[in-house]
Amino acid sequence: MPPDTIPPAAVSPPDTARREQARAALDRLWRRGTEFLGCPYAIMGGAMSWVSERHLVSAISNAGGFGVIACGAMTPALLEAEIAATQAMTDRPFGVNLITMHPQLDDLVRVCLAAKVGHVVLAGGIPPGGAVRAVKDGGAKLIAFAPALVLAKRLVRSGADALVIEGSEAGGHIGPVSLTVLAQEILPHIRDVPVFVAGGLGRGEAILSFLEMGASGAQLGTRFAASAESIAHPRFKQAFIRAAARDAVPSVQLDPRFPVIPVRGLANNGTKRFLEHQAETLRRFTAGELDKDAAQLEIEHFWAGALRRAVIDGDVDEGSVMAGQSVGMVTGEQSIPTIIGELVEQAVSAIAARPPA
């Protein structure tokens, strides 16, 4: 039968129609996440100290994602000012990440609630019951990090409205398990609340694969840290652009008697000197020059202020250049709308390329 006589029903839909169908499919896959966050795309910004401030957070939210302020060591007054400044730059939803070990955690929660922040992320440990109740009684949604299935179930029982599972591929403070394993362990068993995946994500196809496993969305940090809207020093961004995935390595612990919290960052002179510092501290401890507590403090204080030196001052040789393994996918300084647009289009294209069912 000549092509011009093929019945209309047998003609393949145009590419535009196929892409519209693919976009609708993506919308369905992360609808639970977008409805929970209140944004068009279920893409959260990772909370990165010194980086996730008003400019980056508002840019992510304005581009259709969900920005998250990194409170870090801020005082309540500083956090209050940062929230107000972010609200002046966007009228879209964003969240605030609070560290559970902060000595003024209760005051920080009150600041968030007074400012009508809709989502509070409690990170860095099991959220205290008092903080959980305060967030929920104040009308905000609570997001918590789950490093294992047993803790994920516990967090849901205690009142978490959503979870983030972050693999060891991520930058900054990391756990011991990769996202691919965590996703298999947790996603099939946690259905009561949305679960967002994080760690090593740099392309939309990867996000899509986890959505199809049951995730409700994704959290990214490394790609956003090197964006045009990021206030990070140009040398910090250039270090990301030059780096390969294998350059983002976790910190090394020399002696189990002196624990080192694993942090993933770009290998540099600072990471080499940290090994030397540990070795020298161990020598002094063995020689009786330091007691155990003093030796532990010596090791812990090595990186004091190192992240700020790298991010703000641009000291990428001696500072802490925290980065995830997705740093190899950072090929230039892109705008936030471009990054989010790429992620969405990669996912849509992957769906559209599949053979019709």
Q: How many Å apart are CA 309 and CA 87, to the nearest integer?
A: 27
Structure tokens at 204: 């939309």
Taking every pair of Cα atoms in the chain, the longest distance, rounded to a whole number of angstroms, is 93
pLDDT tens, position by position, 89-106 = 999 999 999 999 999 999
Domain boundaries, the chain: 13-233+328-352, 244-322
pLDDT tens, position by position, 120-131 = 999 999 999 999
Structure tokens at 294: 């003093």
Q: Per residue of the chain (357 residues), what is the pLDDT tens digit?
A: 433 443 444 435 568 999 999 999 999 999 999 999 999 999 999 999 999 999 999 999 999 999 999 999 999 999 999 999 999 999 999 999 999 999 999 999 999 999 999 999 999 999 999 999 999 999 999 999 999 999 999 999 999 999 999 999 999 999 999 999 999 999 999 999 999 999 999 999 999 999 999 999 999 999 999 999 999 999 999 999 999 999 999 999 999 999 998 999 999 999 999 999 999 999 999 999 999 999 999 999 999 999 999 999 999 999 999 999 999 999 999 999 999 999 999 999 999 999 987
Residues listed for the chain:
357
Tell me the residue type at 294.
Answer: A
Which pLDDT score is estimated for 15? 87
Q: How many Å apart are CA 291 and CA 277, to the nearest integer?
A: 16
Confirm if 323 and 169 have CB atoms less than 8 A apart.
Answer: no
DSSP, res 125: S
Structure tokens at 141: 């949604």
Q: pTM of the full predicted structure?
A: 0.93
- What's the CATH class of domain 13-233+328-352? alpha beta
pLDDT tens, position by position, 231-289 = 999 999 999 999 999 999 999 999 999 999 899 999 999 999 999 999 999 999 999 99
Tell me the residue type at 246.
Answer: R
Q: How many Å apart are CA 315 and CA 235, to the nearest integer?
A: 8
